[in-house]
Amino acid sequence: MTRLTQSYVHGASDLPLLGLTIGQCLDATAARYPDNDALVVRHQNVRLSYVAFKRKVDNFAAGLLALGLEPGDRIGIWSPNTAEWAITQFAAAKAGLILVNINPAYRLAELEYALNKVECRALVSAASFKTSDYLAMLHELAPELDRAPPGLLEAAKLPHLKIVIRLGTEKTAGMYNFADVSAHPGKTERAALEALADQLQFDDAINIQFTSGTTGFPKGATLTHHNILNNGYFNGVKLRLTANDRVCIPVPLYHCFGMVMGNLMAVAFGATMVYPSEGFDALEVLRAVETERCTVLYGVPTMFIAALSHGEFGRFDLSSLRTGTMAGSPCPIEVMKQVVSAMHMKEVTIAYGMTETSPVSFQSGHDDPLEKRVATVGRAHPHVEVKVIDPEGRTLPVGHPGELLTRGYSVMLGYWNDAEKTAEAIDRAGWMHTGDLATIDEEGYCNIVGRIKDMVIRGGENVYPREIEEFLYRHPKIEDVQVIGVPDPKYGEELCAWIKLKPGANANAEEIRAFCQGKIAHYKIPRYVRFVDGFPMTVTGKIQKFKMREATIAELRLTIEKTA
């Protein structure tokens, strides 16, 4: 093997990229594997073959056209993992609609921002999930629903939203029921759907996923059929996937991990998508793997840790497992060893990427040494270029840390309606600047060594301190606030807020957390709160967050986990 001298790698591959739309891929798979299980949703008692799944997708897609939606319109989905999520994902693609993924943990302010930022014309929503009453929040934002005929919403706070489609059988004023939409289309809409199959192009935008930046305001990463279908496909190539595989997907579908590496990967190969539960539940994952004889399992490291440490772990037969993917945060080597031995996942892989790159840029191989699968994130994905640069933009020698850049089919079109932020992220040569610090060794393996941005990764969720700081500034007693990430054995990192109160004001940690409750997602609420008189700064006035982190670790006696 040729040894690298420069930190530049190219995932050369004999396998060509797929030149298909998502709809064309589903049609081809359903024709080739009509009787294979396509989708198994255990908590809904749903089991659909590929031919049955395609029928439901086509009916819903035609129904969306019957409601007056047109190619290019944005349709949001706000739901935990359900059969309806998968059906909507593929139906939107077939109808040429741009699916907007909305985090199930979003609250009022976040939902309002997301829907308005990309001008969603339609929204598919669950009734509720855990402690979130979605319908109540929608009515709070759009009380006009109570008197609006379905499909004709005119809401002051959500001026672009016209159509709301709710899951479940109960009727809600101003909303369609999901099942009813499939009953709307006639011959005209079905003919229009068939015609679209040849008109849609694989470079069309098909998906918007929100990702926060250091400014704290979420940006809509805009992805194409070509981006995400191929990324799912080559993830499957790395896993040696076949139509006989059954993929357990406990990760959320709103994220690329679920909808791309899970759903699109499975459909590209004719494999089975298995959803154990609405949200992650370790026991339900174990049950699903055993009952459905899953061969592939996904998760962030905390999910695997929860499964391994579950009190009933020993009674489940997991011998059907072969492979899977861990991503989202570094995996401790002891956890990886247990996954390989106790969960039979001898070919488990590690992946690295970001929403803006569809997501995967690096992935370990099934036959990589265990130490490479833990200490690195593998080698460059097929058809993806990667380099590591210094602050002046020069490519660094191997082994030298710098900013990781990626280029290729997987890079997003840009941030929706935000040319300035797009230009900051993607340079004139087409390189996506990840903001992550990395090294590439002589064999092409990549190691993520830090983050240029202040991003905190809590249990696989990317959390940006500035967004939380901007929110906490609204508290009437807070004069200044800085949010940092500190080590946590369960979630990898937890949030700590350093707060400077206004003169004469008094507050406690419970008051601060209560202020956040119900207004921002639960994982963004700081676990630790420190009240301070000021912040460590440089002579030029820049806040030194690394000193804040060191002080917090010492004060709270937190342990920094070694991840090898």
CATH number at residue 93: 3.40.50.980
pLDDT, one tens digit per residue, over 483-535 is 999 999 889 999 999 999 988 999 999 999 999 999 999 999 999 999 999 88
Q: Are residues 484 and 495 in the same domain?
A: yes
- Where is pLDDT greater, at 332 or 506? 506
- Alpha carbon distance 118, 73 (integer Å): 10
Nearest-5° Cα angle at 432, 428 to 438: 130
Q: What residue ranges in 178-280 does DSSP mark as E strands?
A: 205-211, 219-224, 246-248, 272-275
If you write DSSP's letter for every residue of 148-164 in order, what string do you get?
Answer: SPTT----SSSTT--EE
In this structure, what are the phi and psi dihedrals at residue 297, rounded to the nearest 5 degrees? -135, 135
Report pLDDT for 215: 43
Residue closest to 526 by CA, chosen among 452, 454, 480, 471: 471
Q: Are residues 59 and 105 in the same domain?
A: yes
Report pLDDT for 512: 96
In this structure, what are the phi and psi dihedrals at residue 19, rounded to the nearest 5 degrees? -100, 55
Q: Are residues 65 and 207 in the same domain?
A: yes
Q: Are residues 417 and 523 in the same domain?
A: no
Over residues 273-302, the mean pLDDT reads 96
Residue closest to 297 by CA, chosen among 306, 337, 288: 288
- Alpha carbon distance 113, 158 (integer Å): 9
Domain boundary among 211, 238, 269: 211
Give the type of residue at 431.
W
For 165-178, give one letter per residue: b (16+ CB within 10 A) or e: bbbeeeebebbbbb
Residue closest to 216 by CA, chosen among 481, 11, 517: 481
Q: Are residues 109 and 204 in the same domain?
A: yes
Q: Is the pLDDT of residue 564 over 60?
A: no
Q: Is the pLDDT of residue 115 over 70?
A: yes
Contacts of 538-542 with CB under 8 Å at 24 or more apart are none
Over residues 430-454, the mean pLDDT reads 87
Residue 502 C-alpha from the chain's centroid: 38
Q: Are strands 272-275 and 296-299 parallel, antiparallel or unpaired?
A: unpaired
Q: Are residues 193 and 149 in the same domain?
A: yes
Residue 434's domain comprises 1-15+382-453
Report pLDDT for 329: 67
Report pLDDT for 213: 45
- Alpha carbon distance 132, 57 (integer Å): 27
Tokens in use for 50?
């590929």
Give the type of residue at 129.
F
The DSSP symbol for 116 reads H
Q: Are residues 58 and 170 in the same domain?
A: yes
Report pLDDT for 370: 83
Report pLDDT for 337: 86
The pTM (predicted TM-score) of the whole model is 0.84
Q: Say if 444 falls within a structural domain.
A: yes
Q: What is the CATH number of the domain that holds 518?
A: 3.30.300.30
Domain count, the chain: 3
Work out the widest C-alpha separation in the chain, in whole angstroms.
72
Those residues whose C-beta lies under 8 Å from the C-beta of residue 333, and which sit 6 or more positions away, are: 370, 371, 374, 563, 564
Report pLDDT for 178: 98
* Coil vs helix vs strand at 102: strand
- Alpha carbon distance 179, 63 (integer Å): 10
Report pLDDT for 560: 57
| Residue 302 confidence class, pLDDT cut points 50, 70, 90 | confident
Report pLDDT for 330: 67
Q: Are residues 68 and 195 in the same domain?
A: yes
Q: What percentage of the chain reaches a pLDDT higher than 90? A: 79
By the 8 A CB rule, do 204 and 97 touch? no
Q: Is the pLDDT of residue 212 over 80?
A: no
Q: What percentage of the chain reaches a pLDDT higher than 70? A: 96
Q: Say if 503 falls within a structural domain.
A: yes
CA distances from 96 to 76, 83, 204 (A): 14, 20, 8
- For residue 414, the cross-strand partners are 222
Q: Are residues 79 and 206 in the same domain?
A: yes
Q: Are residues 438 and 482 in the same domain?
A: no
By the 8 A CB rule, do 234 and 268 touch? no
Q: What is the CATH number of the domain that holds 446?
A: 2.30.38.10
Q: Say if 96 falls within a structural domain.
A: yes
- Alpha carbon distance 486, 547 (integer Å): 12
pLDDT, one tens digit per residue, over 170-206 is 999 999 999 999 987 889 999 999 999 999 999 999 9
Q: Are residues 428 and 522 in the same domain?
A: no
Report pLDDT for 562: 38
Q: Say if 314 falls within a structural domain.
A: no
By the 8 A CB rule, do 248 and 289 touch? yes
By the 8 A CB rule, do 116 and 158 touch? yes
Q: Say if 60 falls within a structural domain.
A: yes
Domain boundary among 211, 228, 263: 211
- Alpha carbon distance 446, 375 (integer Å): 9
Report pLDDT for 542: 56
Report pLDDT for 437: 83
Q: Say if 39 falls within a structural domain.
A: no
Please identify which residue in the block is written with the tokens 């710098």: 402
| Residue 331 confidence class, pLDDT cut points 50, 70, 90 | confident
pLDDT, one tens digit per residue, over 19-32 is 999 999 999 999 99
Q: Are residues 79 and 180 in the same domain?
A: yes
| Residue 538 confidence class, pLDDT cut points 50, 70, 90 | low
Most confident of 328-342, 345-359, 546-560: 345-359
Domain boundary among 403, 422, 453: 453
Nearest-5° Cα angle at 428, 424 to 235: 80
The answer to whether the peptide bond before residue 359 is cis (omega within 30 degrees of 0) is: yes
Q: Say if 275 falls within a structural domain.
A: no
Per-chain mean pLDDT for the chain: 93
Q: Say if 339 falls within a structural domain.
A: no
If you write DSSP's letter for every residue of 348-408 in order, what string do you get?
Answer: -EEEEE-GGGSSEEEE--TTS-HHHHHHS--EEPTTEEEEEE-TTSPBPBTT--EEEEEEE
pLDDT, one tens digit per residue, over 264-273 is 999 999 999 9
Over residues 243-260, the mean pLDDT reads 96
- Range list of H helices, 433-508: 465-472
